[in-house]
């Protein structure tokens, strides 16, 4: 068992930014952050909290950013879905879960998931499973099918679609 001396404990505090209590400073920092990459309101809220903004200041800054279209959860969710589907090969279940974790509304999630073309979705699932099937070793076909099913579900694809694709390959 290791002993940790009292000198090694570090107290975590919010960073103190001297003289940063005005709206324009928080707004300009948040706007610069939003201009570099698409952000959702919860990410900006967390960042403002990290910077030490009060709850009231955070809401004022978020309201202004939303009015100026720096922050738009609907636009963010569509962008998130397109990127994660195209590059990470995530299915609808995982995409929906990750957006819910970010505090995106159900309406925005549903609208963003509709942006995925059904043919592309099925083709991606098929290619993903074919590639995994080549790399997967199993004692019998049932074990291999179970491994492929778990793999597809870990990527967020629906079970019924996975069964359809597995039957065709």
Sorted by where each begins, the domain ranges of the chain are 23-71, 72-116, 117-169
Residue 34: other Cβ atoms inside 10 A: 21
Q: Is the distance from CB of 71 to CB of 39 less than 8 angstroms?
A: yes
CATH code for 72-116?
Answer: 1.10.10
State which residues of the chain have pLDDT below 50. 1, 7, 9-14, 16, 18
Task: Report which secondary-structure segment, H or E, holds 32.
Answer: helix 23-36
- Residues 89 and 134: their CA atoms lie apart, in Å, by 18
Residue 15's pLDDT is what? 53
- Residues 83 and 78: their CA atoms lie apart, in Å, by 9
Residue 117's pLDDT is what? 97
CATH topology of domain 23-71: Arc Repressor Mutant, subunit A (1.10.10)
- Chain centroid to Cα 127, Å, comes to 23
User: Do 23-71 and 72-116 share a fold?
Assistant: yes
- Residues 104 and 73: their CA atoms lie apart, in Å, by 7
């Amino acid at each position: 068992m290791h002993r940790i001396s009292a000198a090694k404990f570090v107290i975590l505090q919010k960073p103190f930014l001297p003289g940063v209590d005005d709206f324009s400073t928080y707004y300009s920092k948040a706007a610069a952050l939003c201009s570099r990459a698409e952000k959702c309101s919860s990410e900006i809220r967390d960042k403002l909290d990290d910077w030490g903004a009060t709850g009231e200041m955070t809401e004022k800054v978020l309201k202004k950013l939303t009015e100026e279209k720096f922050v738009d959860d609907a636009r963010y969710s569509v962008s998130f879905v397109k990127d994660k589907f195209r590059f990470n090969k995530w299915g609808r279940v995982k995409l929906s879960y990750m957006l819910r974790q970010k505090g995106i509304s159900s309406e925005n999630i549903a609208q963003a998931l509709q942006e995925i073309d059904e043919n592309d979705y099925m083709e991606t699932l098929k290619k993903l499973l074919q590639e995994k099937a080549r790399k997967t070793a199993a004692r019998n076909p049932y074990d291999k099918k179970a491994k492929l099913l778990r793999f597809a579900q870990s990527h967020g694809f629906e079970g019924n679609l996975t069964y359809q694709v597995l039957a065709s390959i």
